[in-house]
Amino acid sequence: MLYDQHVHSAYSEDGNPLICDIAARAIEIGLRGVTITDHFDLCTDPIGYPFYMAHEEARKADFAAARAQYGDRLELRWGLELGNPFLMPGVADPILAERSFDFILGSVHYLSDGRDVYLVDYSTPERRGEALSMYFEDMLTLIADGGFDSLAHLDYPLRPMKGLMEPTLVPWREQIEAVLAALVRRDMALEINTRGFMDWKNRQEPEDWVLRRYYELGGRMITIGSDAHVLHAVGGAVDRAEAKLRELGFEGVTVFTDRKPALVPFA
């Protein structure tokens, strides 16, 4: 019954597995569905959307081959991870309007001043405070602009903060409240990213209180994704994320097809 709705393939600049291999792996480990969400970042770094455009035809062919070979045993969906469209206003919309997807994740990988969230200097509380405030402001812009279905890895900036602070977003509680409320208002889903189980945080992303607060505010749509960039990470800890959802009172996981949500209730 498990779905992984955040997987990068060779058509992301920083990913390497072919979609055919991802599908085979997903079946091997017992997933019911996988959504391929390659990067479409609005930035001029190598990871940026021109890489996607240059590889789109190959991506389509690989996806079609995977569906032909494995489609009877796996729900394979066509997705995208849309990064920081606010950095290049007007660029993403016309390109995406000509294409159709099952699912689009929304992410802030780059701040509105152009800094790469992963490479920001987080060494002092002041620097962290300043960068994270901008990060959550940018997230509000991302949500207001729309064009995606689920908000990816809300606590992404914690990934590079290993050793600098406790793995918590409590200092930014007020801003997170605003982000969660905006998601609920716009009927958007929130992602549980399982990568945190494998790194220093040793828990899902974001932490429990954020998920609980989303629920309290009326949020019911949660997507689960591994953020795999390599084959062995596909489906990683999605079962643990599901267990967490049950524990917090959610009734199921939300799966997007043709950009429409469907609740898949827990058995």
Contact residues for Zn ion, defined by CB under 5 A: 81, 107, 227
Please state the closest distance from residue 129 (CB atom) to Zn ion, in A: 23
* Strand 252-257 to 222-225 pairing: unpaired
In angstroms, what CA-CA distances link 70 with 43, 66, 240? 34, 6, 25
Q: Give 8 or 244: the residue with its C-beta nearer to Zn ion.
A: 8
Q: Give 47 or 215: the residue with its C-beta nearer to Zn ion.
A: 47
Please state the closest distance from residue 109 (CB atom) to Zn ion, in A: 6
Q: Give 215 or 227: the residue with its C-beta nearer to Zn ion.
A: 227
89: its two tokens: 């206003």
Please state the closest distance from residue 21 (CB atom) to Zn ion, in A: 18
Q: Which helix (H) or strand (E) holds 38?
A: strand 31-41
10 Å CB burial of residue 140 (0-12, 13-18, 19+) is: middle
Please state the closest distance from residue 34 (CB atom) to Zn ion, in A: 14
Q: Give 13 or 81: the residue with its C-beta nearer to Zn ion.
A: 81
* Strand 103-107 to 222-225 pairing: unpaired
- Nearest-10 crossing angle of helices 125-145, 173-185: 10
Please state the closest distance from residue 231 (CB atom) to Zn ion, in A: 15
User: Does residue 204 contact residue 194 with C-beta atoms inside 8 Å?
Assistant: yes
Q: Give 195 or 244: the residue with its C-beta nearer to Zn ion.
A: 195
